[in-house]
A = this chain, B = another copy of it.
Amino acid sequence: MRIEDEIHQKEFKDDYRRLMANLLFTNNWLNQQLIPFFKGLGLTLQQHNVLAILRGQHPEPVCFGDIQNRMVDRNSNVTRLIDKLIEKGYVTRDICQTNRRMIEVRITETGLKKLQEVDAMFPSLMERFHNLSQEEAVLVSNLLDKLRG
């Protein structure tokens, strides 16, 4: 459905403004799919993102700064995110012995199991992207990379 019809706007001043509205609107559309999906699994998007980052380094730990730099949403408060994940038993935190300012975060077995549970559900989530062919998905992705510069 054209963005003009989605937000009942006859036309945009220019193609860049149309793209801006479209990016914001599409992100909302995406969140409306992702938030309930992860909520059903007892996670938020950001919590899942952190777990996936930790799995990538497992069994090595990752410190807060590195977690932040690898997150899709850079605005998240890592301290409070990790607190939630510890409560759920998905990660551990320890003070780094070589630099005591840093915190080492590791994913637990329970956390790995939760990620496997998410993985099993992922294909059904990804179906919503299949309005685009694989080639089109690559094309959009590359153009977004180019947009950000």
Contact = CB atoms under 8 A, between A and B. Distances in A.
Contact of A30 (B20, B146, B149): B20
Give the oligomeric copy count.
Answer: 2
Given A8-B69, A131-B146, A18 B141 contact: yes
A26 interface: yes
Interface residues of A, dominant DSSP = helix
B29 A26 contact: no
Contact of A26 (B23, B122, B130): B23
Interface in A66-95: 69-75
Contact of A144 (B9, B122, B140): B140
Interface in A111-135: 122, 126, 129-132, 134
A15 B73 contact: no
A22 to B, nearest CB: 5
Size category of the A interface is: 35 or more
A2 B138 CA distance: 12
B16 A126 contact: yes
Contact of A56 (B9, B14, B71): B9
A17 interface: yes
Contacts of A8: 69-70
A28 interface: yes
Contact of A16 (B21, B129, B143): B129
